[in-house]
A = this chain, B = another copy of it.
């Protein structure tokens, strides 16, 4: 889909605050809210906007620790192995990558103990993983949901 400057402005506003009323978006970009509505609909249908999500603070809901995990997957069974990994609660992202690891995953757990259990008793024991490395996140210096559109 081709996006013009108006579309990009709308995206910027909704990335920053997805609950901004269309009427206010319209005010800010100096157009009618019907136009905003129409453009947002088209961007949703085209898959440019994939959804709207409330960002919840992990700590406030009991996830006191997270880690970035590198994994080596045994050849020939990637699909099945990753499907099982996806289903593990606390596993938020799984990316196939070049370089040192086949897979990089982001996992959340309640505390260090739960993370140990998750990694060493659940993930590392799963068939299909040859090796893993857990990098515990000590802190997040910078994090944005907003792409520079």
Q: Residues of A at under 8 Å CB distance from B?
A: 1, 3, 8, 11, 14-19, 46-58, 60-61, 63, 67-68, 82, 85-86, 89-101, 103-104, 108, 133-149
Contact = CB atoms under 8 A, between A and B. Distances in A.
Given A137-B96, A138-B98, A141-B82, A15 B56 contact: yes
A100 B48 contact: no
Contacts of A50: 55-57
B92 A144 contact: yes
Contacts of A58: 147
A101 B63 CA distance: 23
Contacts of A94: 140-143
Residue from A14, A17, A97 having most chain B Cβ neighbours under 10 A: A97
Nearest to A15: B54
A18 B147 CA distance: 18
A85 B142 CA distance: 9
